[in-house]
Structure 1
Amino acid sequence: MMIFGCHVSIRNGYTGAAKVAASLGAAAFQYFPKNPRSLSVKDFDRGDATSCMEFCQKHNLVSVAHTPYSTSLTPSEDKKELTIASLLNDLEIADSCGSIGVVVHFGSQISKNDPLASYHLMLEMLNSVLSQWDGQCLLLIENNAGTKGALGTTFEELVQIRNLADYPEKIGFCLDTCHMFASGLWNGENTEEFFSKGEELDYFDHLKIIHLNNSKYPTGSKKDRHANVFQNGLIKAKFLQEIATSPIVKDIPFVLETPDDEGISHEEEIMQLYQKWG
Protein backbone atom coordinates (compact mmCIF):
# COMPACT_ATOMS: atom_id res chain seq x y z
CA MET A 1 0.00 0.00 0.00
CA MET A 2 1.27 3.47 -0.87
CA ILE A 3 2.06 6.02 1.84
CA PHE A 4 0.22 9.33 1.43
CA GLY A 5 -0.01 12.20 3.88
CA CYS A 6 0.14 15.96 4.27
CA HIS A 7 1.67 18.82 6.22
CA VAL A 8 -0.01 19.48 9.58
CA SER A 9 0.24 22.11 12.30
CA ILE A 10 1.78 21.56 15.75
CA ARG A 11 -0.55 24.08 17.40
CA ASN A 12 -1.70 21.24 19.68
CA GLY A 13 1.78 19.78 20.12
CA TYR A 14 3.64 17.02 18.32
CA THR A 15 1.33 14.25 19.48
CA GLY A 16 -1.62 16.45 18.53
CA ALA A 17 -0.18 16.83 15.03
CA ALA A 18 0.17 13.06 14.69
CA LYS A 19 -3.42 12.56 15.81
CA VAL A 20 -4.68 15.12 13.30
CA ALA A 21 -2.78 13.34 10.52
CA ALA A 22 -4.31 10.02 11.53
CA SER A 23 -7.80 11.56 11.58
CA LEU A 24 -7.29 12.73 7.98
CA GLY A 25 -6.58 9.18 6.84
CA ALA A 26 -2.89 9.94 6.36
CA ALA A 27 -0.12 7.37 6.67
CA ALA A 28 2.52 10.10 6.86
CA PHE A 29 2.79 13.73 7.87
CA GLN A 30 5.18 16.65 7.83
CA TYR A 31 5.42 19.40 10.44
CA PHE A 32 7.46 22.44 11.42
CA PRO A 33 9.31 21.52 14.64
CA LYS A 34 8.93 25.12 15.89
CA ASN A 35 7.75 28.55 14.75
CA PRO A 36 8.13 28.40 10.94
CA ARG A 37 9.17 32.07 10.84
CA SER A 38 11.92 31.88 13.43
CA LEU A 39 15.45 30.51 13.72
CA SER A 40 15.29 30.56 17.50
CA VAL A 41 16.21 27.46 19.48
CA LYS A 42 13.11 25.90 21.01
CA ASP A 43 13.05 24.38 24.49
CA PHE A 44 10.57 21.70 23.45
CA ASP A 45 8.36 19.35 25.46
CA ARG A 46 10.32 16.09 25.38
CA GLY A 47 7.45 14.13 26.88
CA ASP A 48 5.17 15.28 24.09
CA ALA A 49 7.82 14.36 21.52
CA THR A 50 8.17 10.87 23.00
CA SER A 51 4.38 10.45 23.00
CA CYS A 52 4.35 11.48 19.35
CA MET A 53 6.92 8.83 18.51
CA GLU A 54 4.97 6.17 20.40
CA PHE A 55 1.68 7.16 18.74
CA CYS A 56 3.30 6.99 15.29
CA GLN A 57 4.79 3.59 16.00
CA LYS A 58 1.44 2.26 17.21
CA HIS A 59 -0.47 3.61 14.21
CA ASN A 60 2.21 3.03 11.51
CA LEU A 61 2.58 6.75 10.84
CA VAL A 62 5.70 8.12 9.16
CA SER A 63 6.73 11.64 10.13
CA VAL A 64 9.19 14.14 8.75
CA ALA A 65 10.05 17.66 9.91
CA HIS A 66 10.69 20.75 7.79
CA THR A 67 13.03 23.58 8.78
CA PRO A 68 11.58 27.08 9.26
CA TYR A 69 11.18 29.26 6.16
CA SER A 70 14.18 31.43 7.00
CA THR A 71 16.59 28.49 7.20
CA SER A 72 19.28 28.55 4.52
CA LEU A 73 22.36 26.42 3.88
CA THR A 74 23.89 29.58 2.36
CA PRO A 75 23.22 32.15 5.12
CA SER A 76 24.76 35.58 5.48
CA GLU A 77 27.83 35.73 7.73
CA ASP A 78 25.88 37.19 10.65
CA LYS A 79 23.36 34.33 10.57
CA LYS A 80 25.68 31.33 10.23
CA GLU A 81 25.93 30.42 13.92
CA LEU A 82 22.22 31.07 14.46
CA THR A 83 21.36 28.81 11.53
CA ILE A 84 23.66 26.03 12.74
CA ALA A 85 22.09 26.14 16.22
CA SER A 86 18.60 26.16 14.70
CA LEU A 87 19.32 23.16 12.46
CA LEU A 88 20.71 21.16 15.38
CA ASN A 89 17.60 22.06 17.36
CA ASP A 90 15.36 20.91 14.49
CA LEU A 91 17.24 17.61 14.26
CA GLU A 92 16.96 17.03 18.01
CA ILE A 93 13.21 17.71 18.04
CA ALA A 94 12.57 15.53 14.98
CA ASP A 95 14.70 12.73 16.39
CA SER A 96 12.76 12.84 19.66
CA CYS A 97 9.50 12.59 17.66
CA GLY A 98 10.82 9.55 15.80
CA SER A 99 10.87 11.35 12.46
CA ILE A 100 12.92 10.07 9.53
CA GLY A 101 14.54 13.42 8.87
CA VAL A 102 14.46 17.19 8.65
CA VAL A 103 13.91 18.71 5.22
CA VAL A 104 16.08 21.70 4.28
CA HIS A 105 16.20 23.49 0.94
CA PHE A 106 19.33 23.42 -1.21
CA GLY A 107 21.27 26.70 -0.94
CA SER A 108 20.93 29.72 -3.21
CA GLN A 109 23.41 31.81 -5.17
CA ILE A 110 25.48 34.17 -3.02
CA SER A 111 28.02 35.48 -5.55
CA LYS A 112 27.75 36.41 -9.21
CA ASN A 113 31.54 36.46 -9.50
CA ASP A 114 32.25 33.08 -7.92
CA PRO A 115 29.76 30.38 -9.01
CA LEU A 116 31.30 27.89 -6.55
CA ALA A 117 30.98 30.11 -3.47
CA SER A 118 27.49 28.84 -2.65
CA TYR A 119 28.56 25.20 -2.82
CA HIS A 120 31.57 25.84 -0.58
CA LEU A 121 29.37 27.56 2.00
CA MET A 122 26.82 24.74 1.85
CA LEU A 123 29.51 22.18 2.56
CA GLU A 124 30.88 24.29 5.41
CA MET A 125 27.38 24.50 6.94
CA LEU A 126 26.61 20.80 6.47
CA ASN A 127 29.94 19.75 7.94
CA SER A 128 29.56 22.08 10.91
CA VAL A 129 26.03 20.88 11.72
CA LEU A 130 26.57 17.18 11.14
CA SER A 131 29.89 17.03 13.00
CA GLN A 132 27.82 17.88 16.08
CA TRP A 133 24.94 15.52 15.33
CA ASP A 134 24.87 11.84 16.38
CA GLY A 135 21.14 11.06 16.29
CA GLN A 136 19.23 8.80 13.91
CA CYS A 137 17.40 11.62 12.15
CA LEU A 138 18.78 12.59 8.74
CA LEU A 139 19.16 16.00 7.16
CA LEU A 140 17.14 15.79 3.93
CA ILE A 141 18.18 18.17 1.15
CA GLU A 142 15.30 19.29 -1.06
CA ASN A 143 15.62 20.17 -4.75
CA ASN A 144 14.92 23.80 -5.68
CA ALA A 145 12.45 25.20 -8.20
CA GLY A 146 15.14 27.39 -9.74
CA THR A 147 14.59 30.77 -8.11
CA LYS A 148 17.44 32.77 -6.51
CA GLY A 149 20.19 31.70 -8.88
CA ALA A 150 18.83 28.34 -10.05
CA LEU A 151 20.98 26.21 -7.72
CA GLY A 152 19.91 22.77 -6.54
CA THR A 153 17.86 21.92 -9.60
CA THR A 154 19.82 18.94 -10.95
CA PHE A 155 20.56 15.42 -9.73
CA GLU A 156 24.26 16.12 -10.26
CA GLU A 157 24.29 19.02 -7.78
CA LEU A 158 22.24 17.21 -5.16
CA VAL A 159 24.31 14.04 -5.30
CA GLN A 160 27.65 15.82 -5.43
CA ILE A 161 26.93 17.96 -2.37
CA ARG A 162 26.16 14.79 -0.43
CA ASN A 163 29.23 13.00 -1.78
CA LEU A 164 31.57 15.87 -0.90
CA ALA A 165 30.24 16.37 2.63
CA ASP A 166 32.22 14.94 5.54
CA TYR A 167 29.20 12.97 6.80
CA PRO A 168 27.24 11.72 3.75
CA GLU A 169 25.68 8.94 5.82
CA LYS A 170 23.77 11.63 7.76
CA ILE A 171 22.31 13.18 4.59
CA GLY A 172 19.35 12.08 2.50
CA PHE A 173 17.09 13.69 -0.08
CA CYS A 174 13.59 15.12 -0.34
CA LEU A 175 12.13 15.39 -3.84
CA ASP A 176 9.47 18.01 -4.62
CA THR A 177 7.41 17.34 -7.75
CA CYS A 178 6.41 20.99 -8.21
CA HIS A 179 10.04 22.09 -7.91
CA MET A 180 11.32 19.50 -10.37
CA PHE A 181 8.62 20.56 -12.86
CA ALA A 182 9.23 24.29 -12.37
CA SER A 183 13.00 23.90 -12.71
CA GLY A 184 12.73 21.78 -15.87
CA LEU A 185 14.41 18.75 -14.29
CA TRP A 186 11.22 16.88 -15.19
CA ASN A 187 8.53 18.08 -17.58
CA GLY A 188 6.10 15.16 -17.54
CA GLU A 189 7.29 13.88 -20.90
CA ASN A 190 10.77 12.75 -19.83
CA THR A 191 9.90 10.43 -16.93
CA GLU A 192 11.98 7.51 -18.21
CA GLU A 193 15.03 9.73 -18.67
CA PHE A 194 14.40 11.35 -15.26
CA PHE A 195 14.44 8.02 -13.43
CA SER A 196 17.35 6.71 -15.48
CA LYS A 197 19.55 9.71 -14.60
CA GLY A 198 18.63 9.54 -10.92
CA GLU A 199 19.40 5.83 -10.74
CA GLU A 200 22.69 6.29 -12.59
CA LEU A 201 23.80 8.81 -9.95
CA ASP A 202 22.44 6.78 -6.97
CA TYR A 203 20.08 9.60 -6.04
CA PHE A 204 17.10 7.37 -5.36
CA ASP A 205 19.10 5.16 -2.98
CA HIS A 206 19.08 8.09 -0.54
CA LEU A 207 15.61 9.52 -1.24
CA LYS A 208 13.50 9.43 1.95
CA ILE A 209 10.45 11.63 1.24
CA ILE A 210 8.58 13.07 -1.75
CA HIS A 211 6.58 16.29 -1.64
CA LEU A 212 3.63 15.54 -3.91
CA ASN A 213 2.60 18.90 -5.36
CA ASN A 214 1.15 20.07 -8.65
CA SER A 215 2.29 23.39 -10.13
CA LYS A 216 0.43 26.61 -10.92
CA TYR A 217 3.14 27.62 -13.38
CA PRO A 218 4.52 25.84 -16.47
CA THR A 219 7.61 23.69 -16.57
CA GLY A 220 10.82 25.71 -16.78
CA SER A 221 9.16 28.78 -15.23
CA LYS A 222 11.33 28.57 -12.10
CA LYS A 223 8.26 29.68 -10.11
CA ASP A 224 7.39 27.78 -6.93
CA ARG A 225 3.61 27.84 -6.57
CA HIS A 226 1.93 24.62 -5.48
CA ALA A 227 -1.42 23.39 -6.75
CA ASN A 228 -3.62 20.46 -5.78
CA VAL A 229 -2.80 17.15 -7.42
CA PHE A 230 -6.03 16.72 -9.40
CA GLN A 231 -7.19 20.32 -9.89
CA ASN A 232 -5.88 23.81 -10.69
CA GLY A 233 -2.44 22.49 -11.67
CA LEU A 234 -0.48 22.39 -14.93
CA ILE A 235 1.03 18.94 -14.38
CA LYS A 236 -1.25 16.30 -15.85
CA ALA A 237 -2.41 13.80 -13.24
CA LYS A 238 -1.21 10.92 -15.41
CA PHE A 239 2.33 12.33 -15.30
CA LEU A 240 2.29 12.60 -11.51
CA GLN A 241 0.89 9.07 -11.38
CA GLU A 242 3.84 7.79 -13.41
CA ILE A 243 6.16 9.25 -10.78
CA ALA A 244 4.17 8.07 -7.76
CA THR A 245 3.59 4.52 -8.95
CA SER A 246 7.09 3.85 -10.25
CA PRO A 247 8.74 0.85 -8.56
CA ILE A 248 11.86 3.00 -8.21
CA VAL A 249 10.18 5.02 -5.46
CA LYS A 250 8.25 2.14 -3.93
CA ASP A 251 7.76 2.55 -0.16
CA ILE A 252 8.77 6.23 -0.24
CA PRO A 253 6.21 8.41 1.65
CA PHE A 254 4.38 11.08 -0.38
CA VAL A 255 3.45 14.22 1.56
CA LEU A 256 1.12 16.91 0.22
CA GLU A 257 2.09 20.56 0.56
CA THR A 258 -0.93 21.60 -1.48
CA PRO A 259 -3.55 24.29 -0.72
CA ASP A 260 -6.38 23.10 1.52
CA ASP A 261 -8.59 26.14 0.87
CA GLU A 262 -9.06 25.99 -2.90
CA GLY A 263 -12.01 23.65 -3.17
CA ILE A 264 -10.55 20.50 -1.66
CA SER A 265 -9.34 19.59 1.82
CA HIS A 266 -6.28 17.49 2.56
CA GLU A 267 -8.53 14.74 3.87
CA GLU A 268 -10.40 14.65 0.53
CA GLU A 269 -7.17 14.83 -1.46
CA ILE A 270 -5.58 11.96 0.48
CA MET A 271 -8.74 9.89 -0.07
CA GLN A 272 -8.58 10.62 -3.81
CA LEU A 273 -4.94 9.53 -3.94
CA TYR A 274 -5.69 6.20 -2.30
CA GLN A 275 -8.74 5.64 -4.48
CA LYS A 276 -6.97 6.46 -7.75
CA TRP A 277 -3.40 5.25 -7.16
CA GLY A 278 -3.63 2.79 -4.29
Structure 2
Amino acid sequence: MKFGCHVSIREGYLGAAKHTAALNASAFQYFPKNPRSLTVKKFDKIDAASCREYCQQHSLTSIAHTPYPTSLTPSHDKREAVIESLINDLEIAEACGSVGIVVHFGSQISSHDPLASYQLMIEVLNDVTSKWEGVCKILLENNAGKPGSIGTTFEELVQVRNLCENPLKIGFCLDTCHAFASGLWDGDNWEALAVKGQELSYFKELYAIHFNNSKFQSGLGKDRHANIFKGGHIKKKQFEELINSPVLKEVPFILETPSKEGITHKDEIEQLQHTWG
Protein backbone atom coordinates (compact mmCIF):
# COMPACT_ATOMS: atom_id res chain seq x y z
CA MET A 1 0.00 0.00 0.00
CA LYS A 2 1.13 3.54 -0.74
CA PHE A 3 0.58 5.75 2.31
CA GLY A 4 1.56 9.39 2.68
CA CYS A 5 0.36 12.84 3.71
CA HIS A 6 0.21 16.48 2.72
CA VAL A 7 3.62 18.17 3.13
CA SER A 8 4.91 21.73 2.97
CA ILE A 9 7.07 23.17 0.17
CA ARG A 10 8.69 25.58 2.64
CA GLU A 11 12.05 24.03 1.73
CA GLY A 12 11.19 23.69 -1.95
CA TYR A 13 9.76 20.87 -4.04
CA LEU A 14 12.83 18.67 -3.53
CA GLY A 15 12.60 19.42 0.18
CA ALA A 16 9.00 18.21 0.20
CA ALA A 17 10.04 14.94 -1.43
CA LYS A 18 12.91 14.45 1.02
CA HIS A 19 10.59 15.15 3.94
CA THR A 20 8.25 12.45 2.61
CA ALA A 21 11.11 9.96 2.53
CA ALA A 22 12.03 10.92 6.10
CA LEU A 23 8.47 10.05 7.14
CA ASN A 24 9.00 6.59 5.61
CA ALA A 25 6.04 7.36 3.36
CA SER A 26 5.63 6.43 -0.29
CA ALA A 27 3.33 9.25 -1.44
CA PHE A 28 2.71 12.93 -0.75
CA GLN A 29 0.57 15.90 -1.65
CA TYR A 30 1.66 19.55 -1.76
CA PHE A 31 0.43 23.00 -2.73
CA PRO A 32 2.38 24.02 -5.84
CA LYS A 33 2.26 27.69 -4.76
CA ASN A 34 0.63 30.00 -2.20
CA PRO A 35 -2.53 28.09 -1.15
CA ARG A 36 -4.47 31.33 -0.63
CA SER A 37 -3.83 32.97 -3.98
CA LEU A 38 -4.49 32.44 -7.69
CA THR A 39 -1.37 34.42 -8.61
CA VAL A 40 0.70 32.67 -11.28
CA LYS A 41 4.03 31.53 -9.85
CA LYS A 42 7.39 31.71 -11.60
CA PHE A 43 8.73 28.53 -10.08
CA ASP A 44 12.26 27.15 -9.74
CA LYS A 45 12.46 24.64 -12.58
CA ILE A 46 15.74 23.19 -11.36
CA ASP A 47 14.21 22.49 -7.95
CA ALA A 48 11.15 20.93 -9.62
CA ALA A 49 13.33 18.74 -11.85
CA SER A 50 15.31 17.63 -8.80
CA CYS A 51 12.05 16.70 -7.09
CA ARG A 52 11.00 14.63 -10.10
CA GLU A 53 14.36 12.83 -10.18
CA TYR A 54 14.35 12.18 -6.43
CA CYS A 55 10.82 10.75 -6.58
CA GLN A 56 11.79 8.44 -9.42
CA GLN A 57 14.86 7.22 -7.53
CA HIS A 58 12.91 6.60 -4.31
CA SER A 59 9.64 5.34 -5.84
CA LEU A 60 7.58 8.23 -4.45
CA THR A 61 4.19 9.16 -5.90
CA SER A 62 3.04 12.76 -5.65
CA ILE A 63 -0.02 14.87 -6.40
CA ALA A 64 -0.52 18.61 -6.10
CA HIS A 65 -3.54 20.41 -4.66
CA THR A 66 -4.83 23.61 -6.21
CA PRO A 67 -5.02 26.76 -4.03
CA TYR A 68 -8.15 27.30 -1.93
CA PRO A 69 -9.59 30.10 -4.14
CA THR A 70 -9.65 27.76 -7.17
CA SER A 71 -13.22 27.15 -8.34
CA LEU A 72 -14.51 25.31 -11.39
CA THR A 73 -17.63 27.46 -11.14
CA PRO A 74 -15.98 30.91 -10.88
CA SER A 75 -17.70 34.26 -11.11
CA HIS A 76 -17.26 36.00 -14.46
CA ASP A 77 -14.55 38.34 -13.16
CA LYS A 78 -12.51 35.43 -11.71
CA ARG A 79 -12.76 33.02 -14.63
CA GLU A 80 -9.55 33.95 -16.47
CA ALA A 81 -7.57 34.05 -13.23
CA VAL A 82 -8.78 30.55 -12.35
CA ILE A 83 -7.90 29.20 -15.81
CA GLU A 84 -4.41 30.74 -15.77
CA SER A 85 -3.83 29.49 -12.22
CA LEU A 86 -4.89 25.94 -13.11
CA ILE A 87 -2.54 25.86 -16.09
CA ASN A 88 0.25 27.16 -13.85
CA ASP A 89 -0.51 24.40 -11.30
CA LEU A 90 -0.35 21.80 -14.05
CA GLU A 91 3.00 23.15 -15.27
CA ILE A 92 4.50 23.01 -11.79
CA ALA A 93 3.11 19.56 -11.01
CA GLU A 94 4.32 18.22 -14.35
CA ALA A 95 7.81 19.57 -13.70
CA CYS A 96 7.81 17.87 -10.28
CA GLY A 97 6.72 14.57 -11.80
CA SER A 98 3.30 14.54 -10.13
CA VAL A 99 0.40 12.43 -11.34
CA GLY A 100 -2.13 15.25 -11.22
CA ILE A 101 -3.54 18.32 -9.52
CA VAL A 102 -6.57 17.97 -7.27
CA VAL A 103 -9.39 20.47 -7.73
CA HIS A 104 -12.69 20.52 -5.87
CA PHE A 105 -15.89 19.88 -7.81
CA GLY A 106 -17.86 23.07 -8.49
CA SER A 107 -20.65 24.58 -6.40
CA GLN A 108 -24.27 25.49 -7.14
CA ILE A 109 -24.50 28.86 -8.95
CA SER A 110 -28.20 29.02 -9.86
CA SER A 111 -31.37 28.49 -7.85
CA HIS A 112 -33.52 27.99 -10.96
CA ASP A 113 -31.21 26.19 -13.42
CA PRO A 114 -29.77 22.96 -11.94
CA LEU A 115 -27.55 22.42 -14.99
CA ALA A 116 -25.84 25.82 -14.94
CA SER A 117 -23.05 24.74 -12.58
CA TYR A 118 -22.21 21.64 -14.60
CA GLN A 119 -22.18 23.60 -17.86
CA LEU A 120 -19.81 26.20 -16.43
CA MET A 121 -17.54 23.49 -15.03
CA ILE A 122 -17.30 21.83 -18.41
CA GLU A 123 -16.55 25.15 -20.11
CA VAL A 124 -13.75 25.93 -17.66
CA LEU A 125 -12.29 22.42 -17.94
CA ASN A 126 -12.42 22.67 -21.73
CA ASP A 127 -10.61 26.02 -21.63
CA VAL A 128 -7.85 24.59 -19.45
CA THR A 129 -7.38 21.24 -21.18
CA SER A 130 -7.40 22.80 -24.66
CA LYS A 131 -4.31 24.77 -23.63
CA TRP A 132 -2.60 22.00 -21.69
CA GLU A 133 -0.21 19.71 -23.59
CA GLY A 134 1.34 17.73 -20.73
CA VAL A 135 0.49 14.39 -19.15
CA CYS A 136 -0.31 15.66 -15.65
CA LYS A 137 -4.06 15.35 -15.06
CA ILE A 138 -6.76 17.43 -13.43
CA LEU A 139 -8.21 15.30 -10.61
CA LEU A 140 -11.82 16.12 -9.70
CA GLU A 141 -12.51 15.69 -5.98
CA ASN A 142 -15.93 14.74 -4.60
CA ASN A 143 -17.70 17.31 -2.42
CA ALA A 144 -18.76 16.92 1.21
CA GLY A 145 -22.24 18.49 1.10
CA LYS A 146 -25.41 16.95 2.45
CA PRO A 147 -27.05 14.18 0.37
CA GLY A 148 -28.30 15.69 -2.89
CA SER A 149 -25.72 18.49 -2.92
CA ILE A 150 -23.75 19.07 -6.11
CA GLY A 151 -20.59 17.01 -6.61
CA THR A 152 -21.36 14.22 -4.15
CA THR A 153 -22.02 11.26 -6.49
CA PHE A 154 -19.95 9.11 -8.84
CA GLU A 155 -22.51 9.77 -11.57
CA GLU A 156 -21.88 13.53 -11.52
CA LEU A 157 -18.11 13.22 -11.50
CA VAL A 158 -18.08 10.71 -14.33
CA GLN A 159 -20.62 12.59 -16.44
CA VAL A 160 -18.76 15.89 -16.20
CA ARG A 161 -15.56 14.15 -17.32
CA ASN A 162 -17.36 12.34 -20.15
CA LEU A 163 -18.87 15.57 -21.47
CA CYS A 164 -15.54 17.40 -21.61
CA GLU A 165 -13.72 17.75 -24.92
CA ASN A 166 -10.50 16.26 -23.49
CA PRO A 167 -11.56 13.63 -20.96
CA LEU A 168 -8.19 11.84 -21.10
CA LYS A 169 -6.68 14.85 -19.32
CA ILE A 170 -9.10 14.47 -16.40
CA GLY A 171 -9.23 11.93 -13.57
CA PHE A 172 -10.57 11.68 -10.02
CA CYS A 173 -9.53 11.98 -6.37
CA LEU A 174 -11.75 10.32 -3.75
CA ASP A 175 -11.93 11.97 -0.32
CA THR A 176 -13.16 9.46 2.27
CA CYS A 177 -14.35 12.12 4.73
CA HIS A 178 -16.26 13.92 1.98
CA ALA A 179 -17.81 10.64 0.83
CA PHE A 180 -18.84 9.85 4.41
CA ALA A 181 -20.15 13.36 5.08
CA SER A 182 -22.29 13.37 1.94
CA GLY A 183 -23.69 9.89 2.55
CA LEU A 184 -22.09 8.50 -0.62
CA TRP A 185 -20.27 6.06 1.63
CA ASP A 186 -22.02 5.44 4.96
CA GLY A 187 -19.33 3.07 6.19
CA ASP A 188 -21.34 -0.07 5.48
CA ASN A 189 -22.11 0.18 1.74
CA TRP A 190 -18.62 -0.06 0.25
CA GLU A 191 -19.34 -3.30 -1.65
CA ALA A 192 -22.28 -1.72 -3.49
CA LEU A 193 -20.33 1.49 -4.05
CA ALA A 194 -17.41 -0.43 -5.53
CA VAL A 195 -19.76 -2.17 -7.98
CA LYS A 196 -21.31 1.14 -9.00
CA GLY A 197 -17.89 2.74 -9.47
CA GLN A 198 -16.78 -0.10 -11.70
CA GLU A 199 -19.95 0.08 -13.77
CA LEU A 200 -19.38 3.81 -14.31
CA SER A 201 -15.61 3.33 -14.96
CA TYR A 202 -14.91 5.72 -12.08
CA PHE A 203 -12.12 3.63 -10.59
CA LYS A 204 -10.29 3.37 -13.92
CA GLU A 205 -9.68 7.11 -13.67
CA LEU A 206 -9.05 7.30 -9.90
CA TYR A 207 -5.49 8.44 -9.19
CA ALA A 208 -5.51 9.44 -5.52
CA ILE A 209 -7.40 9.01 -2.27
CA HIS A 210 -7.58 11.67 0.42
CA PHE A 211 -7.58 9.34 3.39
CA ASN A 212 -9.46 11.02 6.22
CA ASN A 213 -11.77 10.05 9.04
CA SER A 214 -14.80 12.22 9.89
CA LYS A 215 -15.53 14.07 13.14
CA PHE A 216 -19.24 13.90 12.33
CA GLN A 217 -21.68 11.15 11.45
CA SER A 218 -22.42 10.19 7.86
CA GLY A 219 -24.94 12.25 5.91
CA LEU A 220 -24.60 15.50 7.86
CA GLY A 221 -22.58 17.21 5.13
CA LYS A 222 -19.93 18.46 7.57
CA ASP A 223 -16.37 18.47 6.26
CA ARG A 224 -14.34 18.04 9.43
CA HIS A 225 -11.41 15.65 9.17
CA ALA A 226 -10.38 13.35 11.99
CA ASN A 227 -7.39 11.05 12.44
CA ILE A 228 -7.83 7.53 11.08
CA PHE A 229 -7.68 5.78 14.47
CA LYS A 230 -8.68 8.61 16.79
CA GLY A 231 -11.76 10.80 17.19
CA GLY A 232 -13.59 9.75 14.03
CA HIS A 233 -16.90 8.08 13.18
CA ILE A 234 -15.51 5.78 10.48
CA LYS A 235 -14.57 2.49 12.13
CA LYS A 236 -11.40 0.50 11.55
CA LYS A 237 -13.28 -2.43 9.98
CA GLN A 238 -15.04 -0.04 7.59
CA PHE A 239 -11.72 1.46 6.49
CA GLU A 240 -10.34 -2.06 6.18
CA GLU A 241 -13.05 -3.04 3.70
CA LEU A 242 -12.23 0.00 1.60
CA ILE A 243 -8.44 -0.43 1.75
CA ASN A 244 -8.62 -4.12 0.82
CA SER A 245 -10.86 -3.46 -2.16
CA PRO A 246 -9.21 -4.63 -5.41
CA VAL A 247 -10.39 -1.48 -7.23
CA LEU A 248 -8.08 0.62 -5.04
CA LYS A 249 -5.03 -1.63 -5.20
CA GLU A 250 -2.74 0.80 -7.05
CA VAL A 251 -4.07 4.08 -5.66
CA PRO A 252 -2.03 6.12 -3.12
CA PHE A 253 -3.71 6.95 0.21
CA ILE A 254 -2.78 10.46 1.32
CA LEU A 255 -3.61 11.79 4.78
CA GLU A 256 -5.12 15.23 5.28
CA THR A 257 -5.74 14.51 8.96
CA PRO A 258 -5.15 16.83 11.95
CA SER A 259 -1.54 16.87 13.14
CA LYS A 260 -2.16 18.73 16.42
CA GLU A 261 -4.39 16.26 18.21
CA GLY A 262 -1.85 14.02 19.87
CA ILE A 263 -0.56 12.17 16.81
CA THR A 264 1.89 13.27 14.14
CA HIS A 265 1.64 12.32 10.48
CA LYS A 266 4.80 10.23 10.89
CA ASP A 267 3.17 8.25 13.71
CA GLU A 268 -0.08 7.92 11.79
CA ILE A 269 1.70 6.64 8.68
CA GLU A 270 3.54 4.09 10.84
CA GLN A 271 0.20 2.96 12.27
CA LEU A 272 -1.23 2.56 8.77
CA GLN A 273 1.77 0.59 7.57
CA HIS A 274 1.65 -1.65 10.64
CA THR A 275 -2.10 -2.24 10.26
CA TRP A 276 -2.49 -2.51 6.49
CA GLY A 277 0.96 -2.21 4.93
Q: 2:13 aligned with 1:14, yes or no?
A: yes
Distance in 2 of aligned mates of 1:76 and 1:28: 34
Q: Which amino acid aligns with 2:257?
A: T
Alignment of 1:136-215 (within 5 A): 136-146=135-145, 150-215=149-214
Distance 1:52 1:63 in 2: 10
Q: Is the 8 A contact 2:147 2:221 kept in 1?
A: no
Cα distance in structure 2, aligned partners of 1:26 and 1:243: 20
Give the RMSD, CA atoms, in angstroms: 1.0
**Structure 1: unaligned runs, 5 residues or longer:** none
- Give how far 1:200 is off: 0.8
Aligned to 2:44: 45
Q: 1:166, 1:192 → 2: CA distance?
A: 32
Q: How far apart in 1 are the matches of 2:259 and 2:20?
A: 14
Q: Which region of structure 1 is more displaced relative to structure 2, 156-165 or 236-245?
A: 236-245
Shift in Å, 1:241:
1.4
3-state SS of the aligned residue for 1:30?
strand
Task: Write the mapping of 1:79-98 to structure 2, written as runs, cut at 5 A.
Answer: 79-98=78-97
1:69 corresponding residue in structure 2: 68
Find the aligned partners of 1:147 and 1:71 in 2 and give their Cα distance: 21
Whole-Å separation in 2 of the counterparts to 1:125 and 1:150:
20
Moved over 4 A (4+): none
Tell me how far 1:244 sits from its aligned partner. 1.2
Give 1:29's aligned residue: 28
Q: Structure 2: which 5+ runs fail to align?
A: none
Residue 275 of structure 2 corresponds to residue 270 of structure 1: no
Would you say how many aligned residue pairs link Structure 1 and Structure 2? 277
Cα offset, 1:146, TM superposition: 1.1
Q: CA deviation at 1:148?
A: 12
Quick one: distance in 2 between partners of 1:128 and 1:168? 12
Retained in 2: the 8 A contact 1:108–1:149? no
In the alignment, what sits opposite 1:54?
A: 53
Distance 2:256 2:70 in 1: 18
2:71 and 2:149 mapped to 1: Cα distance?
A: 15
Cα distance between partner residues in 2 of 1:126 and 1:7:
25
- 3-state SS of 2:174 partner: strand
Q: CA separation in 2, counterparts of 1:153 and 1:269?
A: 27
TM-score by length of 2: 0.99
Structure 1 counterpart of 2:201, one-letter code: D
Q: Which amino acid aligns with 1:271?
A: E
Matched letter for residue 161 of structure 2: R
Distance 1:79 1:148, change over 3 A: farther
